[in-house]
Amino acid sequence: MKLELGNFYVKDAVFGDETAFKDGILTINKEEALKVAMEDENITEADIVIAKPGDNIRIVPVKEAIEPRFRVSGGPVFPGVTGELLQDGNGKTYALKNSNVLVVGKKWGGFQDGLIDMSGEGAKYTLFSELINICLVADTNEDFEKREQQKKNKALRWAGMRLSEYLGKTVSKLVPEDVECFELHPLTKRTEKEKSLPGVVFVMQPQSQMEEMGYNDLVYGWDANHMLPTFMHPNEVLDGAIISGSFMPCSSKWSTYDFQNYPMIKRLYEEHGKTINFIGVIMSNLNVALEQKERAALFVAQMAKSLGAEAAVVAEEGYGNPDADFIACIVALEDAGVKTIGLTNECTGRDGASQPLVTLDQKANAIVSCGNVSEFIMLPPMETVIGDLEALGRDGLSGGWANDEVLGPSVREDGSIIMENNAMFCGDRVAGWSTKTMVEY
């Protein structure tokens, strides 16, 4: 499979009479764009606000992030979700780089929603402060979700995907500034040099532990809870085959933007044919029952060994219950003779002294930590808030609270904030974006 990703670099985004892209400027007809977003009758009110790097802006509750794209060969950007089911990862797709559609709640948040600051101390915690964000700020008539801790946010998330496809069409007839090419030949048809290098698989564990449908990541529109470990081409991940779910605590989430630009996949591609033979992706799952976790781990190990893998990288979305799947998978791979590195964040408590993962094993001896979800973050007030600042101050949004008996409210009267890292939107960058470092004292 060969994927050509044509890139157009957005230098600025403004509102205007026509939605178009020219000379690095993305112009948006707000009225027309809102009609696209509000095609779902469940959306009762919506607005579009542009937030740029350096702006004195705080955005919360953020529910989803999506890179605007256009599929040159036709069909939806997200097969099985926003349109017909088709094979992706092969052909040409155009992307509006440096830009992003953010889905933001206008009134309510849930524990899987998070915060982004576009400048100041908070900006360093999340990749999305570096992008030009087209914020779809909306509310729905889904009253059953308003005070729920766990929300599906389907109407809002799907509206964000429609908006991203609408913006992606602006470059449909243009020539990209550069083209990234991602190609892996079938295992049996690789060069002798490639075959002589150590075989490496990337094992992804997307959010899939919710037995009720609607909360998990989607694979070609299929709820990942239904899935057994599956071999996938890495191009499928980069080209829209996977959509972020709504369940996972926010700093641990993989947004759809993360899947579209997955850094670990790109890094393995860079080494393919040089230091490694990048075999591909084993898309695993997260489970609830111990037997399910063990079964999935055995499937992953058998698949990796059968494919000829000598080494693996395992990345989990989330923490807590998923830690058991994560460690079980690493142990099963090591038992099969596959040297394995794990990529995760940790939950060591506010004092940093607790056990980092729910379960541990001596064979999991090469773990890359992306930070502590419980780490305290204190942020000054911002001039402008997009969304609903009080969403962070309600019990339910992971990382924020109404009133702590020691710390008081998460949102102070002056608009300043004390929160846990948990509430930073995709803040731990477990997909491979992380800029955090480990320091020994």
Residue 103 makes CB contacts below 8 A (sequence gap 6+) with 62, 63, 64, 65, 66, 136, 138, 153, 156, 157, 159, 160
**How many whole angstroms from its chain centre is CA 376?**
22
Count Cβ atoms below 10 Å from residue 312 Cβ, excluding itself.
25
What 3-state DSSP class applies to 416? coil
Low-confidence ranges of the chain (pLDDT < 50): none
Q: The tokens of 88 are what? A: 């992706």
Residue 63 corresponds to which amino acid?
Answer: K
Which pLDDT score is estimated for 441? 67
Cβ atoms of 355 and 326 closer than 8 Å: no
- The SS3 call for residue 226 is helix
Residues near 222 by beta carbon (within 8 Å), at least 6 away in sequence: 80
pTM of the model: 0.96
Which pLDDT does position 127 carry in this prediction? 94
Q: pLDDT per residue over 333-382, tens digit each? A: 999 999 999 999 999 888 888 899 989 999 999 999 999 999 999 999 99
Which residues is 282 bridged to in the sheet? 203, 231
Closest CA to 233 of 267, 185, 190: 185
- Give residue 255's pLDDT: 97
What does R_g of the chain's alpha carbons equal in angstroms?
21
What does the pLDDT read at residue 46? 97
CB burial string 128-141: b at 16+ within 10 A, e below: bbebbbbbbbbbbe
Separation of alpha carbons 133 and 129, rounded Å: 8
Q: Is 102 exposed, middle or buried (0-12, 13-18, 19+ CB in 10 A)?
A: buried
Q: How far is CA 74 from the centre of its chain?
A: 25
Q: How far apart are CA 141 and CA 36, in angstroms?
A: 18
CA distances from 354 to 76, 347, 357, 366 (A): 45, 7, 9, 19
Tell me the two tokens of residue 243.
């959509």
**pLDDT value of position 302:** 98
Q: How far is the CA of 229 from the CAs of 234, 281, 322, 339, in angstroms?
A: 14, 10, 15, 19
Tokens of 294: 């063990």
Eight-class DSSP state of 157: H
Whether 71 contacts 60, CB under 8 Å? no
Give the model's pLDDT for residue 110.
87
